[in-house]
Amino acid sequence: MELKSKSLSLAITIVSVAIPVLVASLFFLPRPNLHLGFDIHILPLFHAVLNGATAVLLLASLYFIRNGFVKAHKVTNIISIVLSAVFLISYVTYHSIAPSTLYGDLNHDGVLDITEKNLAGSVRYIYYLLLLSHILLAAVIVPLVLFAALYAFQNNFVKHKRLARVTWPLWFYVSITGVIVYIMISPFY
């Protein structure tokens, strides 16, 4: 059992490092000119829906565990992890082919001129602060979620509970801010 646990811990560590590296590389790699047969600008809305659904499931998960519904707690967390994985795949797909969107870019030319900056005002700084906290915590949350799930599946509920007390609020914050960031940037797609 110890070898299996070490192997799983190593796999979680590798995934937890690989995901942020992959996401960060998206902003430096050239974007191919692909046509997927649909308007890819619908994907950010899809991402917001996934984040919103995850937030709702996390609330349900908390309710279930506090009221002794362990199986429902487990199912909602598994669904949350699956939705997060779907989000990650779609997010990487979208950002690997779509041009970046600037907050305040009203004419969609990829340049934020002085007029657009003035119109966006200080809300732009709030947006970027939320976005930055969302991105940083999204990277942090991956190993926390995966280790919390691992401890639960190993029936190590002492470690699971201790880690979940940190993981749950961070994961919930990432989910909620994902929706808020989408709402704020959506006029500029």
> Each residue of 92-126: pLDDT tens digit?
889 888 888 899 999 989 898 999 999 999 999 99
Contact by Cβ (8 Å): 45, 182: yes
Where helices occur in the chain by DSSP H, the ranges are: 2-25, 43-66, 70-97, 114-120, 123-153, 157-185
> Each residue of 161-171: pLDDT tens digit?
999 999 999 99
Contact by Cβ (8 Å): 149, 80: no
Examine residue 149 and state whether it is found in any structural domain, yes or no: yes
- What CATH number is associated with residue 54? 1.20.120
154 φ, ψ to 5°?
A: -90, 5
> What is the span of the domain harbouring residue 58?
2-22+40-188
What is the SS3 assignment for 155? coil
